[in-house]
Chains A and B, each alone.
Chain A
Amino acid sequence: MDQDNRSLISLEGLGREDILSLLEKAAGFEAQPNRKILDGKVVATLFFEPSTRTRLSFETAVNRLGGRVIGFSDAATTSSSKGETLKDTIMMVSNYADLIIMRHFLEGAAKYASEVSPVPIINAGDGANQHPSQTMLDLYSMLKTQGRLDDLNIYLVGDLKYGRTVHSMLTAMRFFNPTFHFISPEELKMPSEYKEFCRINGIRFQEHSEFNEDVIADADILYMTRVQRERFTDLMEYERVKDMYILKNDMLRSTRPNLRILHPLPRVNEIAQDVDSNPKAYYFQQAKNGLYVREALICNALNLI
């Protein structure tokens, strides 16, 4: 149904070929990011929850494609603060715009919006639920740096319990025969339902609580996430583990030459500053790739490429 009205709510409905085709389109936009494909189109960016990075990336994508942007970056300045329902806001905005890109603090908000909206919706994050454009740019970054998505050794580090991006990655990578390594403190381990998902889909994985040079020696991709203090019920435990999942430059000495380090950003201290100048650090380019991927997702939603 999402595909019928061309909304993008999650990646769950996409198959291997759908994903590869979108990534190929993104590569086309990287080669030629400025095109007048959206000439005469109006795109609304409705950010009920602030997210500067995601909003700027989407708005840049629209601008580089020659479209116009309307919207808001904080729901406090809109009628939803007066008690307007999401449905009413969506119905009103769909009178003006050809496409709605929305971020909402409630889970399922984008799905519901796609059911009531006459124009396509792109989900730019709904609470802890889905953030498909982030996952697509992660996949694009892996494809670009490794030359393939198949048969990669992917190491996920940090908060694997609440990390939305790592969960979405498992789902999207199920077509590409990956081997995952889950590195996390006990309190933030990969939830059993996702491990079950791996078993059902024949995805190999290993769990580690240690994070050091030896553990990551065979990694193609090191995907870092932040261990957040507020996630811990036991603060003693937090104090004990908080510095154990920090990537330092000297840990990269004997890693594979093709290894690339990804991070969804913002980073706090989980990647030491001295890693930034290592050629294996890729997180800033990764964020830049978000632009090309979002250009592809926008054009796909509007059926323009």
Chain B
Amino acid sequence: MGKTEKKELLVAALENGTVIDHIPSDKVFDVVSLLGLTHLDNPITIGANLRSRKMESKGIIKIADRYFTEEECGKLSVIAPNIVMSIIRDYEVVEKKAITLPDEVHGIVRCGNPKCITNHEPMQTVFHVVDKNAVTLRCRYCGKDVLQKDIKLL
């Protein structure tokens, strides 16, 4: 219990902002780049390879004074479906939401089919999400499926 309290204290140490938790350690910097965090001036804390009860090793990112739209959150689900996002206001967690995949994913993921038109034209990729739990994406153009383990970001 003592450990848990300490952890919550760590999270609550943010006055206002967003805490992104339960990121697989190897995806931490994918989250940084997907949310465009390198372009922000806000104070940001990034932790990786932390021990977790739910997963072997996790990452956590805290961003002060910044909240994210549904669309921005949706992007994250493509690389890590179990991420939890906490909204902090005045040191309190006012909302905790699990990230869910949108029905369509635009311009984030590369199609794994080397013969797909999207890998040859200056155009946006579009995938239909055919399985939200297992994260299976189907390319709108060539029809090939991309499984979560094969997802490559653009």
Q: Which residues of A contact B (CB under 8 A)?
A: 85-87, 104-109, 111-112, 126-130
Q: Which of B1-9, B10-18, B87-95, B117-125 contacts A (4 or more CB under 8 A)?
A: B117-125
Q: Most chain-A Cβ atoms within 10 A of its Cβ — which of B117, B118, B120?
A: B117
Q: Which residue of B lies closest to A108 (CB)?
A: B141
Q: How far is the CB of B109 from chain A (nearest CB, A)?
A: 14
Q: Which of B137-152 contact A (CB under 8 A)?
A: 139-144
Interface residue from B120, B122, B139, B144 paired with A106 (Cβ < 8 Å): B120
A-B contact pairs, 5 of them (CB 8 A): A86-B120, A104-B117, A106-B117, A108-B140, A129-B142
Q: Which residue of A lies closest to B139 (CB)?
A: A108
C-alpha spacing A86/B143, complex, angstroms: 19
C-alpha spacing A138/B118, complex, angstroms: 30
Residues of A within 8 A of B115 (CB): 105-107, 127-128
C-alpha spacing A108/B128, complex, angstroms: 14
Whether the pair A111, B141 counts as a contact (CB closer than 8 A) is yes
Interface residue from B121, B122, B123, B143 paired with A107 (Cβ < 8 Å): B143
Whether the pair B121, A87 counts as a contact (CB closer than 8 A) is yes
Q: Which residue of A lies closest to B145 (CB)?
A: A193
Given contacts A86-B117, A108-B116, contact A127 B142 (CB under 8 A): yes
Q: Which residues of B contact A (CB under 8 A)?
A: 113, 115-118, 120-123, 139-144
Residues of A within 8 A of B116 (CB): 106-108
C-alpha spacing A130/B141, complex, angstroms: 11
Q: Most chain-B Cβ atoms within 10 A of its Cβ — which of A105, A107, A127?
A: A107
Residues of A within 8 A of B141 (CB): 107-109, 111-112
Q: How far is the CB of B43 from chain A (nearest CB, A)?
A: 42
Known contacts A85-B121, A106-B116, then 5 further A-B pairs from the complex at CB < 8 Å, ordered by chain A residue:
A87-B123, A106-B120, A108-B141, A109-B141, A129-B142
Given contacts A106-B116, A112-B117, contact A85 B143 (CB under 8 A): no
Q: How far is the CB of A131 from chain B (nearest CB, A)?
A: 13
Q: How far is the CB of B75 from chain A (nearest CB, A)?
A: 22
C-alpha spacing A117/B32, complex, angstroms: 37
Q: Which residue of B lies closest to A109 (CB)?
A: B117
Q: Which residue of B lies closest to A128 (CB)?
A: B115
C-alpha spacing A105/B117, complex, angstroms: 9
Residues of A within 8 A of B142 (CB): 107-108, 126-127, 129
C-alpha spacing A108/B116, complex, angstroms: 6
Q: How far is the CB of A46 from chain B (nearest CB, A)?
A: 14
Residues of A within 8 A of B144 (CB): 107
Residues of B within 8 A of A106 (CB): 115-117, 120
Q: How far is the CB of B139 from chain A (nearest CB, A)?
A: 7
Whether the pair A85, B140 counts as a contact (CB closer than 8 A) is no
Q: Which residue of B lies closest to A85 (CB)?
A: B121
